[in-house]
Structure formats: structure tokens, C-alpha cells
Amino acid sequence: MKNFKISIVTPFYNEADSINLFFESIWNILNNSNFSYEIICIDDGSSDNTLEILKKFAHNNPDIKIISLSRNFGKEYALTAGIDAAQGDAVIPIDADLQDPPELIPSMVEEWIKGFPIVLAKRASRTTDTTFKRGTAHFFYKVINILSDVSIPENTGDFRLLDRSVVEALKTLPERTRFMKGLFAWIGFDHTTVYYDRQNRREGKTKWNVWKLWNFALDGIFSFSTTPIRIWTYLGLTIALASSLYGLSIIIKTLVYGISSPGYASLACLILFFSGINLVGIGLLGEYIGRIFIETKCRPLYIIKEKIGFQEET
């Protein structure tokens, strides 16, 4: 008898080309497993026929459940919606593009049965990424782990197993700016790691670009560290001290040698430099104030337009 249940949580955004392959691949694994399961599909406001295809699969399989969001909220929020709705004893988020292999799920469940509340799936290498992406990813993890009090494992994405106790802890975190990798790390709990080689996307196109990745990285840094603004405090003090010493040297030179010819070029450079410093500081302060503004509005993380297959839980 299958005495525990695993929830597979997958966000979908314009993934019509990938759905058939996704279910074909994941069913080959789940149907040969020794546990019961549910597959929670979150349609994140897709503009193609993703939702219609998901409904066709759900109509023929009661283990498939669908959450349709009222618009595109973003992957972090879609993932949150799926985790909130999951009923399993353990939850495994996985992307629809199959770059994270479903074949790893049985190994993750085995580690969970041994007593680990979190099982991380870590990439053994990043050979499928471009040199630019490998370099920027490595730099990001180095920066955020230096700045943050929470250590975020490098080369681990959302693909992992979370025990029910971990999921309940995660659901108590209400922040609106969601950086799920950081939230997964912040809640703690013991964990183990399984390794895998990440594959290229089989169908469809990635929804990420350099600009989105840059903003995502900023969300991660500013959500889990106040060090950047603290650094700016020390930088301001250092500049103020250096300016005071420079001003004192000018006074001494004037008293000793008299007034020299004005250096307009030097003056212009100093004005531009300190203006730039001020603007960067204001921008940094604005990043934190903007996030405070978002939090104080207390809007819901997501809005559900339609739920399919959840009758037994409601």
C-alpha cells in the first residue's frame, strides 16, 4: 500500500510546446514509484493555449490539479501558489522544461525516507550554460553569500524535496518580494544533496533574459542583506574624512603659499565624481524604500482565477 503522498509542483508560463513531453517524462517515473502522488500545475497567466492543454490532461487524470492565476505574477509567485496548495507529505518543485530530470525524484524520496527534511538537487556542473552565464552565476552566489547572513547553496535551483514540516514553515513567510532560493535557505532544517547533470531545454523557449536575471539577482541581494546600505555608510564616512583632510591641506597651502590659480578641470571632476556617488547612494536607498513600499501595501502574493481538481480538499 502506498502510505505517503508526494506533491509535484510545476509552474507553466507559455509552455504549450513542452507540456506533452513533460507529462510523458514524469509519468514514466511516477507510475513506477512506490508512493502516491499529485501533480499541481500552475498556469501563470499564459497567453498561449497552455491552460487548455493542461485541462485536457487533468480531465483524463485525477492526479493532475490545476491552479490558474488571474495574470502573469512571475515564477516565484506561481511556485508559492503551488506550494501553498500542495497536500502531499513532501513537495518537489520542478520546472516544465525538463532541464531538471524527473529521473532524480526516486533518489530524492529515498533520501527523505532516511530522515532528511530537505533534499537538494545540485548541478554537478554548468557545462550546458554559456561562459557568460556560468561566470555571472558564480559571481552572484559569491556576492550574495558574502553579503547575506544566510548561506545559499551554489548551483541549486528550485528543484528539491521539502518535507511537510518545511512546507508549513515556508508558508509562514509573508514577504511580497519573493526570492525562493533565499527563503528555502532561510528556514533552515537539515538537508542532504543529490547531484545531477542539467540538460538543455528540450522544447519551447526560455522566459529569462539578461535584464530579468539582473533584476532577479537584485531581489535576492536586497531581500536578504542590508550590507549594501551599510557599506554605503562607511563609504560616506571615508569620503567625508578624505574631503576634510583635502580641505585642510588646501587651507595650509593657502596660508603658506598664498592663493594659487584655480583648477577648473579638477573642480569639475570632483563635482561630477561626488554627484555620481550621491546618485548611486540615493538609488541604493531607493531599492530598499521601494521594497518597504511594496511590503506595506500588503497585497496578496497572487490571485487565483480558477482551480481544477481540488474538490476533495475544499
Q: Which residues contact 122 (CB under 8 A, 6 or more apart)?
A: 153, 155, 156, 193, 194, 195, 196
Question: By CB neighbour count within 10 A (0-12 exposed, 13-18 middle, 19+ buried), where does 147 fall?
Answer: middle
Q: What are phi and psi for residue 182, nearest 5 degrees?
A: -70, -40
Confidence band for 313, pLDDT divided at 50, 70 and 90: very low
Backbone angles phi, psi at 304, to 5 degrees: -90, 125
Is the pLDDT score of 69 beyond 90? Answer: yes
In whole angstroms, what is the distance from residue 84 CA to residue 71 CA? 18
Q: How confident is the model at residue 1 (pLDDT cuts 50, 70, 90)?
A: very low
Least confident of 36-45, 63-72, 135-144: 135-144
pLDDT (tens digit per residue) in 7-37: 999 999 888 888 888 888 888 888 888 888 8
Share of the chain above pLDDT 90, in %: 15
Grid-cell match 538543455, residue found: 200
Residues in the chain: 314
| CB 190, CB 116: distance < 8 Å | yes
Residue 77, sorted as left (phi over 0), alpha (psi -120 to 50) or beta, turns out to be: alpha
Mean pLDDT for the stretch of residues 82-108: 89
**Segment 207-212 long-range contacts (CB within 8 Å, at least 24 positions apart):** 207/13, 207/14, 207/75
C-alpha cell at 12: 507553466
Mean pLDDT over 203-224 rounds to 68
Give the pLDDT band of residue 259 (cuts 50, 70, 90). Answer: low
More confident residue, 202 or 239: 239
Radius of gyration of the chain (CA): 25
Check pLDDT > 80 for residue 164: yes
Give the phi and the psi of residue 3 in degrees, each rounded to 5. Answer: -100, 10
How far is residue 37's CA from residue 192's CA, in Å, rounded to a whole number? 22
- Name the H helices within the chain: 19-30, 50-60, 75-85, 105-113, 131-147, 164-170, 180-186, 210-224, 227-257, 264-297
Position 40 pLDDT exceeds 90: yes
Torsion angle of alpha carbons 220, 222, 227, 232, nearest 10°? Answer: 140
126 — pLDDT class (breaks 50, 70, 90): low
pTM higher than 0.85, yes or no?
A: no
| pLDDT per position as a tens digit, 261-299 | 566 556 666 776 777 777 777 877 887 887 788 788 888
